Each structure stands twice: as structure tokens, then as C-alpha cells.
Amino acid sequence: MTSPHVKTSEMTGAWIWIKERASALVLLPLMLWALVAGATLAGLDHAETLAWLAQPVNAMLVAVGILVGVYHLHLGLRAIIEDYLHGSTGKLVLMLNLLGCLALAGAGLAFVILIALAQAPAGA
């Protein structure tokens, strides 16, 4: 069914369209929250920022924001790459996009978890 001259979006476009919209709807309130969080965190020092992230709701929203945000980011960059890069260059950059996004989400999530574990009371 696949042809070398057909973009991914022409094969599974409807499903990608739904994934873009679904993640956008989740990100809409998260982005508003992120703007408020950014304004709250501006000017705070290390200890104050750790205390902010120690609140479970904040850590949870940061983690979900990174996961869904990077997912949406991957879809968006993929759409741009498919429009401008073709052939083997395009395939290579699409692969780099996927690997980069996986690394970004993995690192972000790992830091949130490591910070939470480091702050957990001993023996908990």
C-alpha cells in the first residue's frame, strides 16, 4: 500500500489529524497553567523551586505537560519536515525528530521523578 512518493500524512492522515487535535485539547488548559507556573517560578531560588515541585499536583502537571507536549511537538515537527524535506534526507530527519523527542520526554520525566525521590522523606 505504501509508495515512496506518498507522504505519511497521505496514508494515515485522518488518524494523525485526530491525534493532533486530541493532544491540543489536553494541552490547552495545561499551557494556561504553564504560563501561570512560569510567572510564579520567576525569581524563586533553588529551595523555593524545589518546594513548589514537591507539591504533588505541580509535579504531576509538569510530567503530564512534558509527555503530552512532546507528543504534540513530535507531530508538529513531523508535519513541517514532511512538507520541506524529501527522500532519504527527509527519512533521516524524521528519525532524528522521533529520537530527539523520545530523549526529551524521557529526560524531562526522569528529572521530575529523580527530584521527587530525592525529596521523599527517608524510609518512606
Partner 1 sequence: MTETPHRPLSPHLQVWRWHVTMAASILHRVSGVGLAVGMLLVVVWLACLKAGPEAYAGFAAVSGSWFGLIIWIGVSWAAFYHLASGIRHLIWDTGVGFSLGAANALSWASIGFSIGGTAVFWFLLMRAGVLS
Binding residues vs partner 1 (CB under 8 A)? 3-6, 21, 24-25, 28, 31-32, 34-35, 38-39, 42-43, 45-47, 49-50, 53, 62, 66, 69-70, 73, 76-77, 80, 83, 86, 104, 107-108, 111-112, 114-115, 118
Could you tell me the three cell numbers for 21?
487535535
Smallest distance, partner 1 to C-beta of residue 8, A: 14
Residue 8 or residue 108: which is nearer to partner 1 going by CB? 108
Three-class HEC string of 14-37: HHHHHHHHHHHHHHHHHHHHHHHH
What span, in angstroms and rounded, lies between the C-alpha atoms of 92 and 90? 5
